[in-house]
Amino acid sequence: MRWLAVIFALGAALAAAPEPPVVVLPPHEAERLILHREPAGWPPEARALGIRGVVRFSITVSPEGLVEKAQPDSGHPLLLEAARRAILGYRFRPLRVRGVPARWRSKLGVRVPSPPGPAPLRETAAR
- Residue 60's CATH number: 3.30.2420.10
- Confidence category of residue 95, pLDDT binned at 50, 70, 90: very high
Which of the residue ranges 72-76, 99-103, 123-127 would you say has the lowest mean pLDDT?
Answer: 123-127
For residue 80, is it within any domain?
yes
| pLDDT for 87 | 98
38-42, 113-117, 119-123: segment of lowest average pLDDT: 119-123
- For residues 54 and 6, what is the distance between their CA atoms, to the nearest angstrom? 54
Can you say how many angstroms the Cα of residue 99 is from the centroid of all Cα atoms in its chain? 21
Please check whether residue 38 lies inside any domain of the structure: yes
Domain that holds residue 29: 21-112
Please check whether residue 1 lies inside any domain of the structure: no
Task: Report yes or no on 121 lying in a domain.
Answer: no
Give the pLDDT of residue 7.
54
Query: How many Å apart are CA 114 and CA 41, to the nearest integer?
Result: 7
Mean per-residue pLDDT for 19-24? Answer: 81
Q: What is the pLDDT of residues 43-87, one digit of tens each?
A: 999 999 999 999 999 999 999 999 999 999 999 999 999 999 999
In this predicted structure, the answer to whether residue 101 has a pLDDT above a threshold of 90 is yes
Check whether 120 has a pLDDT greater than 50.
no
What is the full DSSP assignment across 68-127? Answer: EEEEEEE--TTTHHHHHHHHHT-EEPPEEETTEEE-EEEEEEEEESPPSSSPPS------
Pairwise CA distance, residues 17 & 39, whole Å: 39
Please state the domain count of the chain. 1
With respect to residue 123, please indicate whether it lies within any of the assigned structural domains.
no
| Within a domain: 75 | yes
CB of 106 closer than 8 Å to CB of 96: no
Q: Is residue 94 part of a domain?
A: yes
- Whether the pTM exceeds 0.85: the reply is no
Residue 118 lies in a domain: no
